[in-house]
Amino acid sequence: MTTALEPALSVRQVLGLERVLAGEPEVVAGAGHLDRPVRWVHVAEAADVGVMLSGGEMVLTTGVLLAGDPEAQAEYIRSLHRAEAAAVVLGLGRAFPAPPEVMRRAAERCGLPMVVLHRPFPFAELTEEVQSRLVRRKFAAVSLSESVRTALTGLITAGAPLQRMLDEIAVHSACPVVVTNLAHRVLATAGERSAVDDVLRDWERIARQAGGIEGDGWVRAELGGRGERWGRIVLCGYRGDAGTGRLLADRAAEALVLHRMLVGAAHSWEEQSAQGLLTDLVSGVVPARQLLPRARAAGLPVNRRTFVPLVVRDASATRLDRVLRLLGLPGIVAELADGATAVLLSLARDQDPEALATHFATRLRAGSGDGAAVVAAADARTGWDDVPAGLREARHVAEAVAESPAGLDLPPVVRLRDVHLRGLVRLLRDDPHVQSFAERELDGLLCGTAAEPDLLPVLRTYLATGRNKSRTAQLRHVSRPALYRRLEAIEARLGVDLDDFEQAASVHIALLAHDAQQGRNRGSAASTVVEHGPAQG
């Protein structure tokens, strides 16, 4: 971390200072090394000056102790070189009227910048000028370091999410900030949206460089601890000086490592990144086209691909991600809500999306042991813009399946066509006409549920079993006479004859719509039949 505190003035910058220019400086040797950093300015006349230096100094001299002794002149330069001085500045006039050739040649051989001042001025003025600038820079660096550290530590202490940390880092760096894993997959970004998009647009090329990411103003810092690296943070196109960029990147990396250790997260950064992307896709808040750079940077192949939107219930994102890896299927996985997890497969155009979705579902079931995981799928999409609708369709199918009684003979991959009326009702559940229809049909029961709370479940089982009274009695754990009494009560309250097919169908549709509206309660609704084993739908 000390590198960040190194002064950032180069030999060239010192020579460009107004006070120095007044001395008419001329570089007579080592012109190719003027970008060396100057750590300090030191005035020294002693011939053995080298022993007093620790490296990085710009040494000012009049050469009074060297005049007339070519061997001492050459040795003076060599000792500066050995001590890794940044440059030597010789004021002409006192000892040397012109640049001494011996010193110039020795400096050139060593690659040590040698500068003569044709109009020398008191060295104290130069040291004061340079020193104060160096100190100011050091102070600024320490101050920046402290303020960044304080801000990030405050966020960690407050349990802020990763994105908030990155936003703070981006405020300080004023350039896009990208966090990647070791595979260069972008896990999170911050900074001005259009600048971030510009970076991400080119990310595939950047990420595929085996040697890593390099370039002007690209400052990287590794993320890791306990001997293991797991990612990196990149400031993309930092416009300040290199030392400050390094300082910022190092502070940011320290904070992110601490964040991961202390705040942690129920989900890995990879999962969070995929979750953000898929959630945005599903919600439709951001147009799909704008999410394309993020998808590409998240490692999802997007050019000339077929996208297969899937939603899986009762299988964790981690497990689904593992299955994708096992099968070598490119895709991203993220938990949505209510136990549903979205998977977006990206296939080559020549691959069969239905066959591979089935392969995925079959291998998922085989691996899970219970065969329970239901994979809901939408039709494959060849255009990225159609992906959000596809994901919503898959989610819709998954929810319709969840509302179905268990034991239905569903294929490994369930599609809209497999969820029949339930799918339609679920699609229409928010329609006011459907809502009022359901309320109208079930009014007599819904109003009275407080008095007789089990009438609705009895009705649901009765309709789900295809109006099979003995099966309903068995599943509801009631005697046949008790069931008859309840069915009569239901008919009386609803004012319908359940033996009439059309009336029963109407009540059934109303009940499906009611359950779909009560989506959050669907677990208990479905379990009426689930917990008692298979039933006919």
Partner 1 sequence: MSRVIRAAVFQTAWTGDKESMIQVHEQAARDAAAQGAQVLCFQELFYGPYFCQVQDKAFYEYAEQIPEGPIVRRFQALAKELGLVLVLPMYEEEQPGVLYNTAAVIDADGSYLGKYRKTHIPQVEGFWEKFYFRPGNSGWPVFDTAVGRIGVYICYDRHFPEGWRALGLAGAEIVFNPSATSRGLSSYIWQLEQPAAAVANEYFVGAINRVGVEELGSNDFYGTSYFVDPEAQFVGEPASDKETELVVRDLDTAKLREVRDRWQFYRDRAPGAYTPLTAP
Residues engaged in binding partner 1 (CB under 8 A): 182-185, 207-211, 228, 299, 301, 322, 325-330, 348, 350-351, 355-356, 359, 363
Contact (Cβ atoms closer than 8 angstroms) between residue 172 and residue 140: no
- Amino acid present at 461: T
Q: What is the number of alpha carbons within 13 Å of residue 443 lying toward its C-beta?
A: 7
Q: What is the number of alpha carbons within 13 Å of residue 388 lying toward its C-beta?
A: 16
Tokens 């939603």: give the residue: 311
What minimum distance in Å lies between the beta carbon of 231 and partner 1?
Answer: 12
What minimum distance in Å lies between the beta carbon of 183 and partner 1?
Answer: 4
What minimum distance in Å lies between the beta carbon of 354 and partner 1?
Answer: 12
Q: Are strands 331-335 and 340-348 parallel, antiparallel or unpaired?
A: antiparallel
Q: How far is CA 82 from CA 137, 269, 336, in A?
A: 27, 48, 64
Nearer to partner 1, 185 or 392 (CB): 185
What minimum distance in Å lies between the beta carbon of 345 and partner 1?
Answer: 11
What minimum distance in Å lies between the beta carbon of 229 and partner 1?
Answer: 9
Nearer to partner 1, 111 or 411 (CB): 411
Nearer to partner 1, 171 or 366 (CB): 366
Q: Which class for 471: exposed (0-12), middle (13-18), buried (19 or more C-beta within 10 A)?
A: middle
- Amino acid present at 428: L
What minimum distance in Å lies between the beta carbon of 330 and partner 1?
Answer: 7
Residues 6+ apart with CB under 8 A from 414: 374, 375, 376, 377, 397, 398, 401
- Amino acid present at 419: V
User: Where is 228: in which H helix or E strand?
Assistant: strand 228-236
What minimum distance in Å lies between the beta carbon of 137 and partner 1?
Answer: 34
Task: Please name which of 282, 252, 114, 267 lies closest in space to residue 175, comparing C-alpha atoms.
Answer: 252
Nearer to partner 1, 210 or 451 (CB): 210
Task: Please name which of 333, 252, 350, 261 lies closest in space to residue 298, comparing C-alpha atoms.
Answer: 333
What minimum distance in Å lies between the beta carbon of 299 and partner 1?
Answer: 5
Nearer to partner 1, 42 or 184 (CB): 184
Nearer to partner 1, 17 or 207 (CB): 207
Nearer to partner 1, 351 or 503 (CB): 351
306, 310, 316, 322: CA torsion to nearest 10: -30
Nearer to partner 1, 276 or 301 (CB): 301
